[in-house]
Amino acid sequence: MKISYELNEVKNVAKKIIENATSKTLLFYGNMGVGKTTLIKALVKALGSDDEVSSPTFSIVNEYQIDDGLIYHFDLYRINDIEEAYNFGIEDYLDSEHWKLIEWPEKIESVLYEDFNTIHIDFDNRNKRILKINIKADSLN
C-alpha cells in the first residue's frame, strides 16, 4: 500500500494504517526528520490513548495506556548494537501482546522473528510524504 500525504492529513493516515495492519508490531523506516514520530503520535491517539506522546530518544522506550492494553514506542536511534537492546529487555517487549511501534528498527532486525509490518516514509519532489506499508510479515524490505 502506498499513501501520499501532507502533515495535516496524518490523522487519516494513522487510521488507514490501523485498518490495514496485520500485526501489532510496526517498524518505521525513514531518514531523520521525515515524520516518523509525528505519525506515531497520531497512531497512539487513534488507538485510543490520552497519554502525552513524546519521542523516547533518551529513554529508548515510552509506554502508553489504551483501554485494552499498552503501546510501546521505541526510538532505537541511540543504541549502538543488539547487546544494548538486550540490556533494556527488548525480547520481553517483543514477546508481549501489546502494540510495538519501533523507530530505527534496523538496529534490532536480527531478533525480529514475530510478524510485523514495515512502514517506509520518504519525501516526494513536492515535499509531500510518501508512505509505503508492507502488510506482509515475511520480509524486512
CA angle 108, 111, 116 (to 5 degrees): 85
pTM confidence score = 0.90
pLDDT of residue 136: 55
Q: Which three cell numbers stand for residue 13?
A: 493516515
pLDDT tens digits, 68-109: 999 999 999 999 989 999 999 999 999 999 999 999 999 998
Domains of the chain from N-terminus onward: 2-134 (3.40.50.300)
Sign of CA dihedral 138, 109, 64, 17: negative
Residue pLDDT tens, the chain, 141 long = 899 998 899 999 999 999 999 999 999 999 998 999 999 999 999 999 999 988 877 789 999 999 999 999 999 999 998 999 999 999 999 999 999 999 999 999 888 877 899 999 998 878 789 999 887 544 444
